[in-house]
Amino acid sequence: MTDIIQLLPDHVANQIAAGEVVQRPASVVKELLENAIDAGSTSIQLLIKNAGKTLIQVADNGKGMSLTDARLSFERHATSKIKLAEDLFQLQTKGFRGEALASIAAIAQVDLKTKQEEEEVGTHIQIKGSEVESQEACVTPKGTVIHVKNLFYNIPARRNFLKSTSVETRHIIDEFQRVALAHPSIAFSMHHNGSEMFQLPVSNPRQRIVNIFGSKTNEKLVPVEEDTEMVKVTGFVGKPEFAKRTRGEQFFFVNDRYIKSPYLNHAVTAAFEGLLKDKAHPSYFLYLQVDPKSIDINIHPTKTEIKFDDEHALYAILRSAIKHSLGQFSVAPVLDFNRDSNLDTPYEFQQKQAETPKVEVDRDFNPFKEVSTRTSSGSSVGFQSRRQSAPQESWEALYTGLNDQNDEKDFSKVEFESDVVTGQLFDSSAVATSSTTFQLQKKYIISPFKNGMILIDQHRAHCRILYEDLLKSITVKAAVSQQLLFPLSLQLNAQETQMLQYLRESLEQTGFIFSKMEEEEIEITGIPTLIPESEVSILLDQLLSDFENEIPESGFLQTDLLAKSLAKSMAIKAGTHLDTVEQIAIVNGLFACKEPQLTPSNKKIFITLQAEDIEKKFM
């Protein structure tokens, strides 16, 4: 029996490997540019002839190579960038496989001149089809200049498969742009057939984008910034109105390396949800910095695909960061619902100074004093029910609530005033003038925004606002209560009283004060400032029925249910007239919420009508 296995000669192995690394001239451009960057260059020039089929030349001012290294660099698996397999997880460089130069030299005529700073003379190597033809000393500036001529000269099949000059040039430009965008702090230039295509000075990311894509790009960019433990996101997205029909300017860079990621692309598109015309693609230039340990870039030979440890978290972070950025230049519908909006400033107030919250207490208040006029002030959404702010009423009026407990008329006279709990963070005159709103059918609030209009269900919106306020009061701080002059006593059955016992602590956090809670009687001496006294018994009834005779085990669920129920009862109803200040208070209050889109019971709070939807109606 004869042995048939033999080792492939190096130049054949190199040619085969070259098939993986070098698909077309653009692949050579990418590898050479990356080598120049890894060499610490601050200025890199690319020159091509005939779409790179005739010549690809890259000149850099990087650290250059020693005489031996210059020779070794063309060996397969010759790299200065990793020593151990583990180093792959600490990669700070573009290259690491040590295959590019060997592959390129196997399928082209390569001419390399290189010199290290401290050397007097440099080295000049000529290689053709993996064969070193000459190596000699030469005079050359610090850095490396590499010429790659007649690509695929020895593999006619590959050469014939190359596409037209314009297609191959397009590929090269794509690679050039990706590398240049990833490294704004390096100067780049590109010439094709003697004419300058790009001249990119050292700059910041924004200028780099503008230098590549034209000065009109500048106004289209919306900055994106997010810094989390897992990833730092910077960069820009294009404003929705400039989105393109074709997927054009979409760039992800992870640790300064261009990558393709359909998954992350989806996250971006999701952030643009509702803002783009059909089939339009947003542009984006997003730079992600992650711990090299958390990614695997080794899964694809040309290294444009990447595996992240926690893709899902990345998706969420990216989407929310972009939504937030879009929200800052547009309005409502693109607000970021995943973000802690407690930390955000409503748009109208970004330039304003916040005032210290004031607790208004009328020290001269005397319930037995007669005063004839009444005023109300402030912007927060609350009911006119605090005694202190109605000093003008005669003291008898304090009891009107008791008489018309179920009187709808009284309910429709809902008024808004400053809320003692949170105070007036922003001055109300600004609210009133910052935008225009209308009330429709005493049920909806209409507010225009840049791209159309928004239609808000007033009851649902108020529900959401109160719900979040209540949750805060219950979990974070005790709310202020209004003392009742005469205790309110309610007759309940034993089971109901027992349920209130369970909820007592939470209820007290919202401002209730119970002086008695036993058997079939409870006595209330204080109530939350947002509730009119006349509403208390209805509200507690509603609360008990919402709990459906069952108190959830978990404290959280209990609090949540309580807040939901109270919010629903307390919220202004449909049919209530709202004046402009009240409307605006609702709108602003809503969009200061963490989740302005849905009521606590997951019902839609507002709908938007985009300008184009309106236009369609007129067609």
Site of interaction with Mg ion (CB under 5 A): 35, 95, 100
Tell the smallest beta-carbon distance from residue 159 to ligand ADP (Å): 22
Cα–chain center distance at 139: 52
Which residue stretch of 71-79, 364-372, 410-418, 463-471 sits at the interface with ligand ADP (rule: CB under 6 A)? Answer: 71-79
308 binds ligand ADP per the rule CB under 6 A? no
28 binds ligand ADP per the rule CB under 6 A? no
User: Of 386, 554, 550, which Cα lies nearest the Cα of 480?
Assistant: 386
User: Radius of gyration (Cα) for the chain, nearest Å?
Assistant: 35
Tell the smallest beta-carbon distance from residue 259 to Mg ion (Å): 17
Quickly count: other Cβ atoms within 10 Å of residue 80's Cβ: 15
Q: Which does 481 bind (CB under 5 to 8 A by kind): ligand ADP, Mg ion, none?
A: none
Interface positions, 127-156, toward ligand ADP (CB under 6 A): 144
59 binds ligand ADP per the rule CB under 6 A? no
Q: At what angle do helices 536-546 and 494-510 cross, to 10 degrees?
A: 110
Is 219 within 8 Å of 241 (Cβ atoms)? no
User: Left (φ > 0), alpha (ψ -120 to 50) or beta: where does 235 sit?
Assistant: left
Strand runs labelled E in 279-369 = 284-290, 295-296, 307-308
Residue 203 sits at φ, ψ, to 5 deg, of -160, -175
Which residue stretch of 75-83, 154-162, 301-309, 457-465 sits at the interface with ligand ADP (rule: CB under 6 A)? Answer: 75-83
Which residue stretch of 76-84, 337-345, 356-364, 417-425 sits at the interface with ligand ADP (rule: CB under 6 A)? Answer: 76-84
Closer residue to Mg ion, CB minimum distance, 78 or 455: 78
User: Judged by CB under 6 A, how many residues of this single chain contact ligand ADP?
Assistant: 23
Residue 224's beta-bridge partner residues? 235
Closer residue to ligand ADP, CB minimum distance, 61 or 458: 61
If you search the block for the tokens 């893709």, which residue do you land on?
Answer: 311
Which residue stretch of 55-63, 147-155, 246-254, 489-497 sits at the interface with ligand ADP (rule: CB under 6 A)? Answer: 55-63
Closer residue to ligand ADP, CB minimum distance, 56 or 463: 56
Tell the smallest beta-carbon distance from residue 8 to ligand ADP (Å): 19
Residue 298 sits at φ, ψ, to 5 deg, of -90, 5
Residue nearest to Mg ion (CB): 95
Burial of 86 (0-12, 13-18, 19+ CB in 10 A): exposed
Rounded to whole angstroms, the Cα distance separating 159 from 338 reads 52
Closer residue to ligand ADP, CB minimum distance, 60 or 560: 60
Q: Which does 65 bind (CB under 5 to 8 A by kind): Mg ion, ligand ADP, none?
A: ligand ADP
Q: Which does 317 bind (CB under 5 to 8 A by kind): Mg ion, ligand ADP, none?
A: none
Residue nearest to ligand ADP (CB): 95
**Interface pick for ligand ADP out of 71, 87, 98, 338 (rule CB under 6 A):** 98
Longest dimension (CA), the chain: 121
Q: Which does 78 bind (CB under 5 to 8 A by kind): Mg ion, ligand ADP, none?
A: ligand ADP
Q: Which does 19 bind (CB under 5 to 8 A by kind): ligand ADP, Mg ion, none?
A: none
Tell the smallest beta-carbon distance from residue 326 to Mg ion (Å): 38
**Interface pick for ligand ADP out of 52, 95, 184, 235 (rule CB under 6 A):** 95
73 binds ligand ADP per the rule CB under 6 A? yes
**Interface pick for ligand ADP out of 39, 151, 162, 224 (rule CB under 6 A):** 39
Helix H or strand E segment including 524: strand 521-528
**Interface pick for ligand ADP out of 18, 96, 261, 492 (rule CB under 6 A):** 96
Rounded to whole angstroms, the Cα distance separating 281 from 240 reads 9
243 binds ligand ADP per the rule CB under 6 A? no
What's the half-sphere exposure (Cβ side, CA atoms, 13 Å) at 70? 28
276 binds ligand ADP per the rule CB under 6 A? no
Closer residue to Mg ion, CB minimum distance, 14 or 565: 14
Burial of 39 (0-12, 13-18, 19+ CB in 10 A): buried
Which residue stretch of 92-100, 497-505, 506-514, 550-558 sits at the interface with ligand ADP (rule: CB under 6 A)? Answer: 92-100
Distances (CA, A) of 63 to 33, 43, 48, 179, 350: 14, 12, 23, 19, 48
Q: Which does 526 bind (CB under 5 to 8 A by kind): ligand ADP, Mg ion, none?
A: none
Tell the smallest beta-carbon distance from residue 54 to ligand ADP (Å): 21
Tell the smallest beta-carbon distance from residue 12 to Mg ion (Å): 22
Closer residue to ligand ADP, CB minimum distance, 144 or 497: 144
Which residues touch 573 (CB under 8 Å, ≥6 apart)? 411, 459
Cα–chain center distance at 406: 47
Q: Which two tokens stand for residue 539?
A: 């509200």
Residue 446's beta-bridge partner residues? 438, 455
The CA-to-CA distance between both ends of the chain, in Å, stands at 84
Given strand 221-227, what is the order of strands in its sheet? 221-227, 231-238, 284-290, 250-254, 257-259
| Binding site residues, ligand ADP, CB under 6 A | 31, 35-36, 39, 60, 62-65, 73, 78-81, 95-102, 144
